[in-house]
Structure 1
Amino acid sequence: MKTNRILTLAVLCLFAGSIYSCSKDKNVAETPTPNQEELSASTLSKIKAQGFSTENARKIEGGYLVEGDILLTDENLNEKSTSPNLLIAKAEQYRTTNLVTSLPQVITISVSNLPQVYHDATNIMISRYNALGLSLTFQLATTGTTGKIKIVGFNEGPSGGFITLGSAGFPTSTGKPFNQIRMNTNPAAYGTNPNLNYLASVIQHEVGHCIGLRHTDYMNRAYSCGSAGAGNEGQAGVGAIHIPGTPTGPDSGSFMLACSNGGNRTFNANDIIALNYLY
């Protein structure tokens, strides 16, 4: 999901009537954001080698934001893999090289310094995943403790016509889920009275990244984002591996599409096939 012309981690965007999963187009006065450090040619090369778009990639706290809502750490960029090349097709379910291991496992989720609606949305997300009967289950962390995945807030206004709604990263090489989801608390992101199911859907998408799911239309984000998101990243040794049993044709209802309609989007049948295959 990208924060610019395409969308943004896991973040939802509005462009030509579509809501991107990472950011959204806003007809509002733009709030200047801190200048982003220009990425070196070496860093851009590593991002591309991992199978991610370098368009609008930028440095943020903890790593590099790519494809609108995906946070790549330095560890991610320096990993080498013997995984097969990604498959290029119309639309398929994709996973990352690393997945969560030590199964079955309960992943605790904590919500820090955010309004109650974020806690309520997290509970909805948890119930959606747990209803699938996976070897991964989720539960809220005990009050005062930090979960294996921590949901935190940040405040960033619109930039370049888009606003980042949230971001997350991928599992570590040691089999742990990515440990943080960042949700934008700026009023331009969700308004002053966020819709509960909308928030739950964004968090659900970001959790998908944390456990190893890529955007369903990775190979050509124009499918969900329109012409601004056109293009795929080409062949790469890691980063986007097709999940067997998922379709090779368009899948308009997937919760992991790069761009969403901005409403309530949960798992469709192919998402469930993908998650059950992995977990």
Structure 2
Amino acid sequence: MKKITFVLLSIVIVTIVLSCEKKETLNELLGKTTMLTTSQLEKLLALGVNVDNVTLENLRLFDGTLEKNLVLGDITIPVAKIDEYVTLKTSENNKQQLEVSNIVAPEYRNIKIVGYSGEGFALTSKMRTALSWAVSNYNNLSTTLNFSLTYGTDTDTADIIVYKVEGEAGGSAGFPSINGKPYKYVRINSDTDNLTINMNEHIITHEIGHCIGLRHKDWMNPCGKGLISDVEFKLIQDKSAFLFEDSIMQSCFSSTSDGEFTDADKNLITFLYQKK
């Protein structure tokens, strides 16, 4: 779970290179994370995530049931669904290479969000305000995404459910499915209510970003921690248009965050979900 830190990259179209020379690194990781299989770690590397400190946890859903997840900072990947994610391919130079275009498919871009109000998992008043602000910010962008927001317990038709769980300030979410549906669950930790509304807005905006495919801008060196895998990122346009230090998708952020998109964030989201 994320504790005011987040662990990936806000670029959705990437090239990942994992050479055979990294087998030693993979073995070292297996030594640290004995709960995970070699196959699971390889798939996480293929997704372009920093697998340092990955854990296997039972996360609570809004209905009280538990779901086993691989947890990497604020990123959660259901173990039962890991095979639905992209896999590595072998390139001509005999290195494993993967191109990821994991964003929400056009047919799923009218996104219904439910801020949960049921007993035990209800968002606080501050979280509800922050969620409303976050949704407005997304809808104010000129994109093919259209978010609607309601509060309640009727989640049957919800595409994203935002609910509160116990924990230190922060939140967690995941990436779109292989068929292009947004990730369904945004968990906001209870201690987040102790922060300002703007910081709540930042965290919720960030987690919704993951649900639509955004990754951490600084995943190669999250919070100054360094990189595990040999990864090369390739942008379709000039990096300078997207990579700003104060991005809403940075893995770490300041306590003075205003919760708003930077110009770089706007450029990236409108580029990925541009109107024709």
With structure 1 as the length reference, what TM-score do the two structures score?
0.69
Question: Are residues 1:199 and 2:205 paired?
Answer: no
Distance 1:107 1:249, change over 3 A: closer
Query: How much identity, in percent, do the aligned residues show?
Result: 29
Structure 2 residue aligned with 1:218: 219
- Which of residues 52, 56, 61 is equivalent to 1:59? 56
Structure 1 residue aligned with 2:134: 125
Shift of 1:176: 0.5
Contact 1:9 1:71 in 2 (8 A): no
Larger radius of gyration: 2
Structure 2 residue aligned with 1:257: 250
Distance 1:44 1:105, change over 3 A: closer
Question: Are residues 1:50 and 2:47 paired?
Answer: yes
Structure 2 residue aligned with 1:176: 181
Distance 1:249 1:269, change over 3 A: closer
1:228-259, Cα deviation, whole Å (9 max, x unpaired):
x22353237xxx66352442895212111111
Task: Give matches, 1:265-276, under 5 Å.
Answer: 265-276=259-270
Contact 1:96 1:214 in 2 (8 A): no
Provide the C-alpha distance between the structure 1 equivalents of 2:207 and 2:265, rounded to a whole number of angstroms. 14
- Which of residues 167, 170, 183 is equivalent to 2:172? 167
Give the letter aligned to residue 140 of structure 2.
Answer: A
Structure 2 residue aligned with 1:138: 147
Structure 2 residue aligned with 1:7: 5
Structure 1 residues not aligned, in runs of 5+: 11-35, 86-94, 157-162
Distance 1:48 1:77, change over 3 A: farther
Structure 2 residue aligned with 1:149: 160
Provide the C-alpha distance between the structure 1 equivalents of 2:34 and 2:166, rounded to a whole number of angstroms. 19
Distance 1:251 1:142, change over 3 A: closer
Structure 1 residue aligned with 2:210: 209
SS of the residue aligned with 1:242? coil
1:72-117, Cα deviation, whole Å (9 max, x unpaired):
23334553357899xxxxxxxxx95321112583211111112121
Provide the C-alpha distance between the structure 1 equivalents of 2:153 and 2:85, rounded to a whole number of angstroms. 34
Provide the C-alpha distance between the structure 2 equivalents of 1:209 and 1:276, rounded to a whole number of angstroms. 15
Provide the C-alpha distance between the structure 2 equivalents of 1:40 and 1:268, rounded to a whole number of angstroms. 39
Structure 1 residue aligned with 2:25: none
Structure 2 residue aligned with 1:107: 111
Structure 1 residue aligned with 2:27: none
Give the letter aligned to residue 115 of structure 1.
Answer: T
Distance 1:118 1:257, change over 3 A: same
**RMSD of aligned alpha carbons:** 3.1
Question: Are residues 1:41 and 2:38 paired?
Answer: yes
- Which of residues 226, 250, 255 is equivalent to 1:230? 226
With structure 2 as the length reference, what TM-score do the two structures score?
0.70
SS of the residue aligned with 2:123? coil
SS of the residue aligned with 2:126? helix
Larger relative contact order (CA 8 Å, sep ≥ 6): 1
Give the letter aligned to residue 219 of structure 2.
Answer: Y
Structure 2 residues not aligned, in runs of 5+: 9-32, 60-66, 92-98, 117-121
Structure 2 residue aligned with 1:32: none
Distance 1:83 1:124, change over 3 A: farther
Give the letter aligned to residue 235 of structure 1.
Answer: V
Structure 2 residue aligned with 1:23: none
Give the letter aligned to residue 138 of structure 1.
Answer: F
1:202-233, Cα deviation, whole Å (9 max, x unpaired):
10011110000110112222xxx24xx22353
SS of the residue aligned with 1:138? strand
Corresponding residue pairs, total: 224
